[in-house]
Amino acid sequence: MYLLGIESSCDETAASIVEMGEGVRRIHSNIVASQIETHKLYGGVVPEIASRAHIEAISNVTREAIETAKIGLSELGAIAVTSHPGLIGALLVGVNFAKSLAYANSIPLVPVNHIHGHVAAAYLSNPDLEPPFLALVVSGGHTSLYKVTDYTEFEEIGSTRDDAAGEAFDKIGRVIGLPYPGGAALDRLACEGDPTRVPLPSPALPGETLDFSFSGIKSAALNYINEKRMKGEEIDRADLAASYTFRIVEALTKKAEQALEKTGLSTLVLAGGVAANSHLRASLEALCKKKKIRLAMPDRTLCGDNAAMIATAGYYEFLAGRTAGTDLNAFASDEGM
């Protein structure tokens, strides 16, 4: 079955055609129009500008996805669209576009949770992966651990109580002068530094809980930078990047280990934009090797926001009968959904 996926929850307008079925998980096109260059000027995503940019891009991005795949609209089994969570104005662009396209062509419409989409990216890169598994989703807006008992069944068993890990990377990246979003550049810089040089608190909350808190490490790093600047001392950016990354990766690895022990699950899936982080990937590889756990990650190119992951998650939602009508709405949060 062919699906068209549409994603517009943040700062990428994306459309993709995937083919899903018994033993088949194939990407036929995966088009992403990034707005990063526009938002770079402001050091972060400006929601109003994001919505406008989605409106400008969405028709062409979708046309390109269809033309590249050489799959006609009449061949589509469903249109999957991110309906939550995300920036509400941005989400509404994708949802309304998908609704119109589905209605005009009598194609079933499937709403998709963006986080479930990130996890589904792992299915594309690991053709034999199936639930149950533990999923660690680390992105610009989320940091959570899920017990995934079926393709469409997610139970959140741990999450951040404040900022997301991606946000924490981007914030410090910005302060030390890296271009937005700082995550990828900080990842590279951290390779050149000494992770033991700057003392920083752990974002893993102590004890049995599987929750995180990134606000403490973020403030501690900011204080360190400000103190150095006030004293007129040079900041070794690489050492700071390495120490900061080390503490965050250590915390994510620690809670993933605790969650594996708690749930008894034997597969770990890492997903979300921060899943592209080389230090995090290496640390989880070491953990899973030690514990004889299967580690499944999306290819780095599928970690960031894209629509192939939305189409893939949409396939399983479709099989579960979760289609929507023209009254489909978008929601900024995923609480209670």
Please, which residue, 203 or 298, has the CB nearer to Zn ion?
A: 298
The minimum distance between CB 82 and ligand KG4, in angstroms, equals 10
Please, which residue, 10 or 284, has the CB nearer to Zn ion?
A: 10
Q: What is the DSSP string of 275-287?
A: GG-HHHHHHHHHH
Query: Residues in the site for ligand KG4, rule: CB under 6 A?
Result: 10, 139-141, 166, 169-170, 181-184, 187, 272-274, 276-277, 304-305
Dihedral of alpha carbons 328, 333, 336, 337, sign:
positive
CB 125 within 8 A of CB 302: yes
Contact between 8 and Zn ion per CB under 5 A: no
The minimum distance between CB 337 and Zn ion, in angstroms, equals 16
Peptide bond into 132 cis (omega under 30): yes
Q: b/e string for 186-207 if b means 16 or more Cβ within 10 A?
A: bbebbeebebeebebeebbbee
Contact between 170 and Zn ion per CB under 5 A: no
Query: Does residue 149 sit in helix, strand or coil?
Result: strand
Please, which residue, 107 or 184, has the CB nearer to ligand KG4?
A: 184
Q: In the sheet that 76-84 helps form, which strands lie side by side, from edge to edge?
A: 24-34, 12-21, 2-7, 76-84, 109-113
Contact between 305 and Zn ion per CB under 5 A: yes
Q: Which does 314 bind (CB under 5 to 8 A by kind): Zn ion, ligand KG4, none?
A: none
Q: Distance (Å, rounded) from C-alpha 280 to C-alpha 193?
A: 16
Q: Which residue is nearest to ligand KG4 (CB)?
A: 273
Residue found by looking up tokens 């946000």 in the block: 167
274: DSSP letter: G
The minimum distance between CB 275 and Zn ion, in angstroms, equals 10
Please, which residue, 187 or 239, has the CB nearer to ligand KG4?
A: 187
The minimum distance between CB 42 and Zn ion, in angstroms, equals 19
160: DSSP letter: B
The minimum distance between CB 325 and ligand KG4, in angstroms, equals 27
Please, which residue, 71 or 135, has the CB nearer to ligand KG4?
A: 135
Give the DSSP H/E element, type plus range, for residue 213.
Answer: none
The minimum distance between CB 81 and Zn ion, in angstroms, equals 14
Interaction site with Zn ion (CB under 5 A): 139, 305
